[in-house]
Structure 1
Amino acid sequence: MISKICIALLCISLLHSCAAFSWKPCTDVESKSSIKDVDLTPDPPFPGSTAKFTIDATADVEIGSGSLDISVAYHGFPIYSQSQDLCEKTACPVKKGPVIVALEEPFPIITPPGPYTVRITAKGKGNDAPQLFCLDVDFNVVPQGSRAQQNIQPESS
């Protein structure tokens, strides 16, 4: 009886961890901002969905223009990277103080379920330009139609 309870608690714990994402500032890179919060919608993402990352930070420097670099790892293996114009994701120039960066990434319908890490880096243009922020976001992509995906509330218009 006790082993059945332990198994049930373990299953509940695993299901809960599948639905939650986590984030942390990069430990190997110096940034010129502090990140207050990161939001991921839907949580968890699923094949065919568009993940919306919203990063709430405070900039310590001004950046006229720059890039937003994204790299994706699946089970720890790099699978995708791209660079986008920072000014398409936030207002430029980025002034000292509060800054919100919004990023949308579509997940193809063939996206395999499992653990992903996305590194998002915002930096100014040029070799000597400051790095605004760097963060790692860990999450699980769940199969479409799974219980974790069904618990997602529809967005209100």
Structure 2
Amino acid sequence: MKVKVINQSKHALPEYQTPLSAGLDLRANLEAPITLGSLERRLVGTGLYLELPTGFEAQIRPRSGLAFKHGLTVLNSPGTIDADYRGEIKVLLVNLSQDPFTIEDGERVAQMVIAKHEQITWESSESLSETERGAGGYGSTGKS
């Protein structure tokens, strides 16, 4: 699938890191490094603008290495970029560690996955079909 992109960053377009990768790594596009203190959150620009086809979204997700090693994650994970959005792609990052973390210009801060989606229409009803699980919620299918 081809996706129109405007790249106003100082960096090359995102690339898949391996032939079977689902996500493209997004890079911070910064004038100066940003330091996130413990529990601090910040929007980080990428300099990228997309035009997604109807029926697709871009999901912004954490990078596993940053999350594991430094506690840096995407706060509204996954963040959704709708097909009709034309603004800059920004990443809402939060530092969940106790230590400050500095984001440098060009650092890979998140990954973007393009996903197909459907829109629904509601069908009002007085009942739902029965299932083995029924109304069992959190933890209902795990160990007791």
- Normalised-by-shorter TM-score class: 0.3 to 0.5
Based on CA coordinates, which of the two structures has the bigger radius of gyration?
2
Structure having the larger proportion of residues in strand? 1
- TM-score with structure 1 setting the length: 0.38
